[in-house]
Amino acid sequence: MSNLLARFKLDRADFSLDVDLDLPARGVTALFGHSGSGKTTLLRCIAGLERAPGGYLALDGEVWQDANIFLPTHQRPIGYVFQEASLFPHLSARGNLEYGRKRADSRMDRTTLDPIIELLGIGALLDRRPDQLSGGERQRVAIARALAVKPRLLLMDEPLAALDLARKQEILPYLERLHEELEIPVLYVSHAPDEVARLADHIVVMRDGRAVAAGPLTETLARLDLPIHLGEDAGVVLDAVVAERDAQWQLARVVFADNPDAGVWVRDGGHALGHHVRVRILARDISLAVTRNSGTSILNILPGVVAELADDAHPAQALVRVNVGGAALVARLTRRSAHDLGLTPGQIVYAQIKAVALIG
């Protein structure tokens, strides 16, 4: 039973939480929603930092909370990364890591910290005090500290939210390495679609204290009936493999994992052939045509079949899901265009993709 079962009900004056989740205990699961949607409260309930009487929580069948049991936070095999790094100011970076290592469930000697220090690139920072570190460095130490207790579940509460854009860009590569190399499941709270697109395998969409959608990231983002509007961030994320590199034009062709016949050209990011990458294609960057256009600057034009049409947030706009081989794309059109083209499910269209972001 490799899963995390979480059932919580909380009623506060200004807020209520009511979730019943069965999450996969592997990979990165994003708890995604706007601020105030209850994602942090849910994470705190899972950590035992918040008490939700009557709740139920079990990891791999091991019960942490039910009607009779409430494991206090310090007895749960978790690692927790707060929004602000929350390092102990009286200890050096190394002291902070050691604090966790000494208290880990299984006795570990000093060297067990080495791979963690290496993973987060903090070797040169160890003797500094928290107030001598930049915001990004502090957060990397905080992540390392959370891993130093050898957790079986890593909980991250918007670890990038308190950082400016440059610091975010500094940390994201480390989080991606974490994603690739970490064997334990991660719950990652975020309100930023770009972070979720880069890091998550699964997604739970939260709104008003409820989980309104949950599932694998690629499938869930391709849904047109997502109960929260992503606005300009609406779009799909696809797993892909580098299949071809064009040295003359500095381009690489990545093919979708689900269907190697379909693929797109992207800027060559220096990845080797066969390397797994993720691409993100926003709905606003796709236009549809019923005939294949020539004489266009658009490089990526994929034939596909209209699967579904739906209204977008603004009444002038519509979202269209197009199946391109096994992969699903979502395009945003004006409703007038959809009407003029006479789009209906089953129709063959050409998806003209203006921009593809290579992430991770």
Considering only residues 42 through 71, tell me which ones interact with other proteins, judged by CB under 8 A. Answer: 47-49
# binding residues, other proteins (CB under 8 A):
28
Considering only residues 306 through 325, tell me which ones interact with other proteins, judged by CB under 8 A. Answer: none
Q: Which of 14/225 has CB closer to other proteins?
A: 14
Considering only 14, 131, 183, 261, the residue that binds other proteins (CB under 8 A) is 131
Q: Which amino acid is it at 37?
A: S
Least gap, CB of 105 to other proteins (angstroms): 7
Least gap, CB of 325 to other proteins (angstroms): 44
Least gap, CB of 152 to other proteins (angstroms): 12
Considering only 103, 267, 314, 336, the residue that binds other proteins (CB under 8 A) is 103
Interhelix angle 135-148/165-181, nearest 10 degrees: 20
Least gap, CB of 142 to other proteins (angstroms): 8
Residue 82 in contact with other proteins, rule: CB under 8 A: yes
Using the rule CB under 8 A, give the single segment among 59-67, 145-153, 164-172, 286-294 that binds other proteins: 145-153
Q: Which of 77/325 has CB closer to other proteins?
A: 77
Residue 209 φ then ψ, to 5°: 80, 5
| Positions that interact with other proteins (CB under 8 A) | 47-49, 72-75, 78-80, 82, 84, 86-90, 99-100, 103-105, 130-131, 145-146, 148-149
